[in-house]
Structure 1
């Protein structure tokens, strides 16, 4: 038996949902714009579209900045509204591109030719796949900007690229590579001023140390005007987990590279995680466990002040203090500094709910267990930098219709 057609319906309309996944929105220093990426996927289709967009925080409008599928990890450069991002290019290399956030709408990439707008420029290149881009203004006479990325390296500490090192059969590990961006004045540039990678090229922070760094995400290392802090272990077989290491740097172009110093905390022999510099670069906070092999052990918050004067075995406060040890039973898994560097924000799970806590950066002043400042599970899992906690507008084309 065939059912009668529905009256008033001339065609059958099928719905093809498009799912959008959006990153956190990172605002600029002025708090006027934010940058974020959005990935659009259609079930049953192999086409994924990734866009970098600029959100105007005053008008709450979003504009396309780039739809080049090779672009990744867009960040504010820290100079005006300039944006820096990674671009995957031929032979497995990575370029560093810089453009102005005001170049939206008219200046996104031509997908047919993959040509870049004339107002954007390539600041440099590293001959490997780079990730986890970090930037920090050094506030020196040259207005240099420290730049660091994670790239694979061979056992002798040189860059590894499978497309150009196909014959290499040794061990491969992740390493932190750093240098600076320097301002270059040129009248030929539409921008007038360009930033380019320093001629000294990138330096492997781990070369000659025998350290193995996990570098599984951007929270595994940080840079500042005081240098680099990162996670590493003595060998891949080390079951105690990674330790925090510190490399003192001033210019990020030192001719003699300082050796990494292990940040040892007396009485705490477990793994470390989430190292992050304070806004002024003078202090470092990170998480550390007491027992090296107990999976049920909890993280403690560690703060090292005057990091430039750090020496192994120096006295370090831990949180919570002796008075609150029995009350603070949670294990923080993320730590971030407040903008003024006076407080720390940590995220911990209590009874299945993620909660955000604020504690003084002077850990010795804590006398009772910290109280949560959020009670619901709406806290983002990573609040490494609180200015990242923004919501970009929902894509109005989340549902698309097609007639058939």
Structure 2
């Protein structure tokens, strides 16, 4: 008798701020009996040991909360809703209770819920007087901008699209004094950032990517097409927000880059929220066009350029033959990490965030790289500074 093979898939590990622990998810599937086991685990980076945090198949998208070793994650619950949970990774192994039971460790609590299927969890410390945490989720939306729940809105027959919903997590004193204060969803409801715009984000591909939008103290940056039925390329948009609870939000502003009409991808804020980096192609239809790295500085002042259709650009003298497909900021915001394929190998490169200062060919920093990247066309890397005109 032949035994069907078991397959396992592990997500990327997410380290905490101290670099001592890492979160990851592992999915185990046995095709023979269709068993599907999903575990959220915590890896101790000092001892290289792994412990179980959750084995509830409803739990997903665990992230570090930013305070100590607290973890925040999404839980799919009955009636098509999603709960937001917060727990402490330091309690794993001491008071862990199998999540197939109805009980939870005391350190874990439900911070709130949204009445739809949610994904693409994003968090941002707003650094305000209330110590609020901005939270954004991707949820289905009806054509009039309301939440769409496939289980409770069965009679709805209109268009359904993805939308970005945001609010805050705020500290609240719990009734049980032993629990102290806990973060919970703000009394104000979740807001649809794209209501009335005709835009959809994350993109349908088929479900969009977690890199289709990002949030910061500056607001929201995201990818979208001109309309839900637009077959063209995606553009980057920016919504400036003074808070994550404001009712009258500005309309999204498209980020134009002079001479670049191709699709945009992977928008991400710098750690301080002052700048945005993303990838963009120069030609809208050229099949062999490469991604370019774009950096928009002073994004908080972008609203002053609403009437400008093309961004001012500063271009370096050389260019790079590789086409990066992801970009991320260093912790201090001074460098960018980009991933590109060279000689059929994925390589990680570090480049200065001030792209116009690049004078030498970027070299891969990943350990499996034995030779420097062959960089001949560094014109693909340039910056688009937001120079604010002097007030007269």
Q: TM-score range by the shorter chain?
A: 0.7 to 0.9
Give 1:112 shift. 4.6
Of residues 209, 213, 217 in structure 2, which corresponds to 1:221?
A: 213
Report matched runs for 1:275-354 at 5 Å.
Answer: 275-310=267-302, 311-312=305-306, 313=308, 315-317=311-313, 321-325=315-319, 328-354=320-346
Cα distance in structure 2, aligned partners of 1:112 and 1:296: 50
Query: What TM-score do you get using the length of structure 1 for normalisation?
Result: 0.85
Report matched runs for 1:163-202 at 5 Å.
Answer: 163-186=151-174, 188=176, 190-202=178-190
8 A Cα contact 1:317 1:364, kept in partner: no
Give 1:250 shift. 2.6
8 A Cα contact 1:82 1:100, kept in partner: yes
Cα distance in structure 1, aligned partners of 2:95 and 2:281: 49
**Runs of 5+ unmatched residues, structure 2:** 371-392
Query: Cα deviation per residue 1:320-349 (whole Å; 9 max; x = unaligned)?
Result: x34113xx1221111111111111111112
8 A Cα contact 2:73 2:86, kept in partner: yes
- 1:258 maps onto 2:250 in alignment: yes
Query: Cα deviation per residue 1:107-144 (whole Å; 9 max; x = unaligned)?
Result: 44435534323331110000000001000100111000
**Runs of 5+ unmatched residues, structure 1:** 1-12, 379-404
Cα distance in structure 1, aligned partners of 2:120 and 2:153: 22
Cα distance in structure 1, aligned partners of 2:213 and 2:177: 34
- 1:115 maps onto 2:103 in alignment: yes
Cα distance in structure 2, aligned partners of 1:206 and 1:61: 43
What residue number does 1:136 align with? 124
8 A Cα contact 1:133 1:150, kept in partner: yes
Query: Cα deviation per residue 1:182-201 (whole Å; 9 max; x = unaligned)?
Result: 01123515431210001111
8 A Cα contact 1:229 1:247, kept in partner: yes
Larger relative contact order (Cα-Cα within 8 Å, sequence gap ≥ 6)? 1
Query: How many correspondences in the alignment?
Result: 362
Cα distance in structure 2, aligned partners of 1:205 and 1:295: 33
What residue number does 1:361 align with? 353
Query: What TM-score do you get using the length of structure 2 for normalisation?
Result: 0.87
Cα distance in structure 2, aligned partners of 1:302 and 1:158: 34
Q: CA RMSD in A?
A: 2.1
